[in-house]
Amino acid sequence: MISARGLRKSFGDFEAVKGIDVEVRRGEAFGFLGPNGAGKSSTMRMIASVSPVSGGQLRILGMDPATDGPAIRGRLGVCPQEDTLDNELNVFDNLYIYGRYFGIDRATCRERAQELLEFAQITDKAKAKVEDLSGGMKRRLTIARSLINRPEVLLLDEPTTGLDPQARHVLWDQLFRLKQAGVTLVITTHYMDEAEQLCDRLVVMDKGLIAAEGSPRELIDAHSTREVAELRFGVGEHEALAGKVEDLGERVEVLPDRLLVYSDHGEDVVTAVLERGLHPLATLVRRSTLEDVFLRLTGRSLAD
Amino acid sequence: MATTTRPARTTRPTGTLSAREGMARQYDYWLTVLKRTWRGGVVSSFLTPLLYVVAMGVLLGGFIEGDPDTLEGATSYLAFVVPGLVASHAMTIAVSESTYPVMGAIKWHKTFYAQLATPLAVRDLVNAFVAFVVFRVAVACAVFMLVLAPFGVFETWWGPVLAWVGQVLVGSAFASLTFAYSARLRSEEGFGLLFRLGVIPLTLFSGAFFPVANLGPVLEWLARLTPLWHGVSLSRMLCVDRVDWSLALLHVAVLAGLTVVGWVLAVRNLDKRLEV
Amino acid sequence: MALVQRIPAPLTPAAATRMLVLRNYVVYRGAWKLFVTGFLEPVFYLFSIGIGVGRLIDTFEFHGEAIPYAEFVAPAMLATSAFNGALLDSTYNVFFKLKYEKLYDQMLATPLSTGDIARGEIAWGLMRGSVYSAAFLVVMALMGLTHSWWAVLALPATVLIAFAFSAVCMAVTTWMKSWQDFDKIQLAQMPLFLFSATFFPIEAFGDGALRWIVEATPLYRGVVLCRELTTGVVTWESAISVVYLVAMGIAGLAVVRRRLDALLLT
């Protein structure tokens, strides 16, 4: 569906994407995970065929975005990071008019708009102004709008950023349904739980490059231990204490508010810490997540 | 303390500060606003009316006979049109500065809500806002009158000074009335209508460009009922030195009365609007 | 690859333009009050300056013929309202959609291209403007201010004026950074409106360089074109005006496309 070879994007002197290889297959959910500024959005805009490629090769649905932009865009669905709804149109017209931009005939547009209102669970808001919708509803409308042309590939840039937990779960459920219906999903996110939930395969991006690639499970297995022991000590003590627990796990990370000790047996680490006469204010043993993978690969936390 | 059992409104429109203190505490805010925005006002509040003077007063005026009998006592069309233009200009600035900025402070930037979270009250907000607009009107009109002075359009030295006071009154009347209107408005579409059905017809038919007598008896009386006509007529009679003092008094009374009415409505409307 | 065949876009340029016009029409349907009152502005000017001030003036000479002041001002109002409308649509409205609403960004996620957007916006402005112009022409005719069947051609003339200014102003808008920059637009708009022989004959500028400069400005060309048509005193000057305005519009449109590409396709 999408194939990139040595893909690059630069703005003047700044290189946002520094040569990446990506292959997205039909029907899968593919993720770009990385912090803000990693080059995810630039990559997405190139795939959406609205941003010219600076270098390398990019093929979408077998076509070249440089020459066949309109034809590609006709078969893509794009849900941008910020809702770009038409505030001057009501909810129904947002779907209807947008569909008309694809050259879809009036009757079909009306029919699909009605269906999508239901899909987005905003049927009762059909005549409402966009500005009167809640954040979650706006997001669902944006996604519904990106489906009006029955796209083969749906691009979702940070789909749940800024949504409350409940709204996120509603949205995830809808994305699952789309995937089951055979739509290829391409998702960027800086939430590791989202990536774990939604993506079959993902790449971790950092500073314009791909740091790792695989399924969430593969990435965790390859780059982290099974479990993590989190130890919280008093303010400012973490740096000094890191040395004293270093040998208890495969690796120790110092965060501003806690120490992370990587080990396949977290409980054993905690027991050993207490035996050494250290008294953490709080301890937690958990399974490794993509956050840990990212920390390992880049030395930085995703939340920055 | 109030002895009512209902929960007392946290903010009464009159507040707890003296009117003077309420305004003084906003002095620095408005000074900052002025520093940030005065440049933008140069074109609209100064250059535009000057171009009108040159186009209408000088160039078109060159084709019009300077007959005091047809020009309400002015000896040239330029002398006729200038006092009217400045007065209608005072209205335009007052209206412009009290439309989008008021809606912005309510809806977009929510400045009013932030200010109300302090000891300031609705009345203080209206006072300072209107005072600021009137200040801008006063400066713009003063600069304008000074620039025009060397062109021999004024008959006396004191006439234009009093005319300037009249122009400032026009500003205060329209600023407070427009504030009252804007405070109620939910959508900015209403501003488009205000300009098209209010400001433009007033500018064109309130005697700024031609004697209202030219409109025919019915429309002439209609024009005399508009607030701007009072301002134009006052400004002109003082500038061309043909003062009818009783009429001048009426003009002042009307403009001052409208200012008071506008102010009361502005406080009431803003209080209602910010309540929810 | 042996053979590169371009896949046709799903929409033809004409169809794409129609979709943009449709979008604006749906939006505007809700704002009919603004639409109706927009027509009043030139009428107010005509009554105020044309009739009110006109009582202070006898007649003006236009191409050697004496015409009453109202007949002199009316075609100028026709031309300047086309100008003002086009300017408003293609500066403030376009800037708002470009920078604040991000409307064009969402459109570009569909098969629409930047050229489609430019054509669609301008086409919409022209359609709206021509409704106003037609209404104003009817008012003129009813007031006895038209003197020849040439006046019918004043309608396409206003469309041409609007086209030329829409294209150029939209191009200028793509360089705008903030609302403060609109002072500069006003700085161009007011002098054009007031000094394009709108309210007084070109002779007021004397016979020197100033007059020639004014004669070379686009709004003056539009005003004279309309005036020649409604008064029926048509000369070769009209041909110059038409060519001038067509060239201006085409040049503007080319720049708009390039600029939108540079701004939106980054």
Q: Are A216 and A116 contained in the same domain? A: yes
CA A74 to chain C, closest CA, distance in angstroms equals 5
CA B42 to chain C, closest CA, distance in angstroms equals 9
Nearest alpha-carbon partner for C17 in C163, C116, C86: C116
Range of the domain at A258: 225-287
A4-29 mean pLDDT: 92
Sign, CA dihedral A46-A48-A51-A52, equals positive
Question: Residue C161 pLDDT more than 90?
Answer: yes
A128 touches chain C (CB under 8 A): no
For residue A103, the chain C residue with the least C-alpha distance is: C11
Tens of pLDDT, residue by residue over B172-188, are 999 999 999 999 998 88
For residue B56, the chain C residue with the least C-alpha distance is: C199
Residue A110 forms part of a structural domain: yes
Q: Are A18 and A32 contained in the same domain? A: yes
Contact C137, C146 (CB under 8 A): yes
Residue A302 forms part of a structural domain: no
Chain C residues inside the 8 Å CB shell of A146: 109
Question: Residue B270 pLDDT more than 90?
Answer: yes
Amino acid at C67: I
Q: Which of A17, A44, A84, A95 to mutate to test the interface with C (most CBs of C within 10 A)?
A: A84
Chain C residues inside the 8 Å CB shell of A86: 23, 27, 101, 103, 106
Q: Which residue has the higher pLDDT, A201 or C31?
A: A201
C150-161 mean pLDDT: 94
Question: pLDDT exceeding 90 applies to what percent of chain A?
Answer: 30
Q: Are A102 and A31 contained in the same domain? A: yes
Domain map (residue ranges) of chain C: 13-264
Q: Does the beta-carbon distance from C106 to A80 stay under 8 Å?
A: yes
Which residues in C have their CB inside 8 Å of a CB on B?
A: 31, 33-34, 37-38, 40-41, 44-45, 47-49, 51-53, 55-57, 60, 180, 183, 186-187, 190-191, 194-195, 199-201, 204-205
Q: Which of C56, C183, C189 to mutate to test the interface with B (most CBs of B within 10 A)?
A: C56
Q: Are A128 and A145 contained in the same domain? A: yes
Q: How confident is the model at residue A159 (pLDDT cuts 50, 70, 90)?
A: confident
Q: Identify the chains in contact with B, defined as 3+ C-beta pairs within 8 A.
A: C
Question: Residue A195 pLDDT more than 90?
Answer: no
How far apart are the C-alpha atoms of B78 and C106, rounded to whole Å?
53
Question: Residue B1 pLDDT more than 60?
Answer: no
B146-163 mean pLDDT: 90
For residue C26, the chain A residue with the least C-alpha distance is: A89
CA C185 to chain B, closest CA, distance in angstroms equals 10
Chain C residues inside the 8 Å CB shell of B65: 56
Question: Residue A243 pLDDT more than 90?
Answer: no
Chain C residues inside the 8 Å CB shell of B55: 194-195, 199-200
State which of A121-125, B15-19, C155-159, C257-261 shows the largest mean pLDDT.
Answer: C155-159
State which of A257-266, B225-234, C180-189 shows the largest mean pLDDT.
Answer: B225-234
Residue A297 forms part of a structural domain: no
Q: Does the beta-carbon distance from C9 to A74 stay under 8 Å?
A: yes
Tens of pLDDT, residue by residue over C99-131, are 888 889 889 889 888 888 888 999 998 988 888
Residue A251 forms part of a structural domain: yes
Q: How many domains does chain A divide into? A: 2
Question: Residue C35 pLDDT more than 90?
Answer: no
Amino acid at B234: L
Out of A33-37, A215-219, B227-231, C170-174, pick the least confident. A33-37
Chain A residues inside the 8 Å CB shell of C4: 67
Q: Does the beta-carbon distance from B201 to C44 stay under 8 Å?
A: yes
Tokens 């547009």 label which residue? A109
Output the pLDDT for position C2. 37
Nearest alpha-carbon partner for B50 in B139, B169, B145, B136: B145
Q: Does the beta-carbon distance from C180 to B60 stay under 8 Å?
A: no
Residue A295 forms part of a structural domain: no
Nearest to A73 among C8, C19, C109 (CB): C109
Q: Which of C84, C190, C193, C202 to mutate to test the interface with B (most CBs of B within 10 A)?
A: C190
Q: Are A177 and A99 contained in the same domain? A: yes
State which of A229-233, B7-11, C59-63, C208-212 shows the largest mean pLDDT.
Answer: C208-212
For residue A77, the chain C residue with the least C-alpha distance is: C109
Output the pLDDT for position A270. 85
Question: Residue C62 pLDDT more than 70?
Answer: yes
A10 touches chain C (CB under 8 A): no
Q: Does the beta-carbon distance from C190 to B70 stay under 8 Å?
A: no
Q: What does the mean pLDDT of chain C come to?
A: 88
Question: Residue C6 pLDDT more than 60?
Answer: no
Nearest to C109 among A48, A87, A88 (CB): A48
Q: Identify the chains in contact with C, defined as 3+ C-beta pairs within 8 A.
A: A, B
Q: Where are the alpha helices (DSSP H) in C143-207?
A: 154-173, 182-195
Q: Are A201 and A235 contained in the same domain? A: no
CA B20 to chain C, closest CA, distance in angstroms equals 33
Instruction: Write the DSSP assignment of chain B as a string of letters.
Output: ----SSPPPS--TT-SS-HHHHHHTTHHHHHHHHHHHHHHHHIIIIIHHHHHIIIIIIIIGGGS---TTTTTT-SSHHHHHHHHHHHHHHHHHHHHHTSHHHHIIIIIS-HHHHHHTTT--HHHHHHHHHHHHHHHHHHHHHHHHHHHGGGT--S-SHHHHHHHHHHHHHHHHHHHHHHHHHHH-SSTHHHHHHIIIIIHHHHHHSSSSS-GGGG-HHHHHHHHTSHHHHHHHHHHHHHTT---HHHHHHHHHHHHHHHHHHHHHHHHHHHHHHH-
Q: Does the beta-carbon distance from C109 to A82 stay under 8 Å?
A: no
Between chain B and chain C, the number of residue pairs with CB atoms below 8 A apart is 91
Q: Which residue has the higher pLDDT, C181 or A95?
A: A95
Question: Residue B164 pLDDT more than 90?
Answer: yes
Residue after which a domain boundary falls, among A168, A188, A220: A220
Out of A158-172, C133-147, C192-206, pick the least confident. A158-172
Chain C residues inside the 8 Å CB shell of A93: 26
- Could you tell me the CATH number of the domain that includes residue A42? 3.40.50.300
Interface confidence, given as ipTM, is 0.86
Nearest to B48 among C38, C55, C190 (CB): C190
Q: Does the beta-carbon distance from B60 to C200 stay under 8 Å?
A: yes
Chain A residues inside the 8 Å CB shell of C8: 71
Q: How confident is the model at residue B276 (pLDDT cuts 50, 70, 90)?
A: low
Nearest alpha-carbon partner for A65 in A52, A83, A82: A52
Tens of pLDDT, residue by residue over C39-48, are 888 899 999 9
Output the pLDDT for position B7. 43
Output the pLDDT for position B2. 41
Q: Identify the chains in contact with A, defined as 3+ C-beta pairs within 8 A.
A: C
Output the pLDDT for position B6. 44
Q: How confident is the model at residue B10 (pLDDT cuts 50, 70, 90)?
A: low
CA A64 to chain C, closest CA, distance in angstroms equals 9
Q: Are A140 and A252 contained in the same domain? A: no
For residue B61, the chain C residue with the least C-alpha distance is: C200
State which of A169-183, A270-284, B236-250 shows the largest mean pLDDT.
Answer: B236-250
Q: Which residues contact A75 (CB under 8 A, 6 or more apart)?
A: A61, A149, A151, A152, A153
Q: How confident is the model at residue C8 (pLDDT cuts 50, 70, 90)?
A: low
Output the pLDDT for position A302. 56
Q: pTM score > 0.95 for this model?
A: no
Q: Does the beta-carbon distance from C266 to A11 stay under 8 Å?
A: yes
C191-216 mean pLDDT: 91
Q: Does the beta-carbon distance from C52 to B205 stay under 8 Å?
A: yes
B32-43 mean pLDDT: 79
Chain A residues inside the 8 Å CB shell of C16: 101
Output the pLDDT for position C9. 62
